[in-house]
Amino acid sequence: MSTLSETLIRAAIVIIVLVVVGWGVLLLWNNYLKPYFQGIPEFEYAAQEYEGPDSTVSVDSIQYSSSTCPGKIFERAKQYLGIDVTRDGNPKSACARFVSKVLYDVGFPIKVGSFDYVPNIEDKLLKEGSQKISKNSLQPGDIVVGRGSGASGRHVFIFTHFEGTYVCGIGEPGMSKPVKHQCNPSFYAGYRITKCK
């Protein structure tokens, strides 16, 4: 009888381990590996989902402090307006590639091309000590993440100002589209970088 109960216990443990490992592999695939191995054309559509109206405010009229990291990020982002920073026509998340490029340009320790996925940028911001901030605390140059439905429904851009209920900023709205100054209805999280060159 004891060998039967020992066998059942071992079988139950093996099944539990397989379920946990399988669930972990599925999460890893869906959240991190799938974008790199399949190209994920829906990432362009996710960015387009947030493509709101163009801002009615000129970026040159926005007040900011050029001596702070957010101010330096804002200044650098303005230099990309009208330029397509999409790499080799790859349909990965163009908005994330743009933000990682701007952050790299101001000395934030991020490798351009390795952070073409919004959740990866969020993880890197937190690991490097950036402050997570509320919508009401945003200032020009802060990083904004908008979120829709599902993991691919994320958009990242550099905050400039508010227009009514819209959060406006500089970002790349989709693959092979130039960087624009647009307003977005979605706010999920804000990040403030405090260390840059």
Same domain flag for 129 and 168: yes
Same domain flag for 88 and 133: yes
Residue 7 lies in a domain: yes
Q: Which of 126, 119, 176 is nearest to 153 (CA)?
A: 119
Residue 115 lies in a domain: yes
Q: Which of 137, 129, 128 is nearest to 167 (CA)?
A: 137
Same domain flag for 88 and 26: no
Tell me the residue range of the domain where 149 lies: 40-192
pTM greater than 0.75: no
Task: Tell me the average confidence (pLDDT) per consecutive run of 10 residues in the chain, 197 residues long.
Answer: 79 89 75 50 41 80 90 93 68 75 90 73 88 93 76 77 88 75 84 88
Same domain flag for 111 and 34: no
With a CB cutoff of 8 Å and minimum separation 6, the contacts of 46 are 93, 148, 152, 153, 154, 155
Q: Cα 61–62–66 angle (5° rounding)? A: 115
Beta-strand ranges (E) seen in 9-149 are 131-133, 143-147
Same domain flag for 93 and 113: yes
Query: What residue has token string 């000395």?
Result: 107
Q: How many domains does the chain have?
A: 2
Q: Which of 112, 90, 104 is nearest to 176 (CA)?
A: 90
Q: Which of 52, 84, 58, 51 is nearest to 140 (CA)?
A: 58
Residue 166 lies in a domain: yes
pLDDT for the residue numbered 76: 93
Same domain flag for 96 and 127: yes
Same domain flag for 46 and 99: yes
Task: Find how far residue 5's CA is from the centre of its chain.
Answer: 50
Same domain flag for 160 and 69: yes
Residue 197 lies in a domain: no
- Write out pLDDT tens, residues 90-103: 445 678 888 888 99
* Angstrom distance (rounded) from CA 28 to CA 92: 18
- Write out pLDDT tens, residues 135-169: 999 999 999 988 654 445 578 899 999 988 888 88
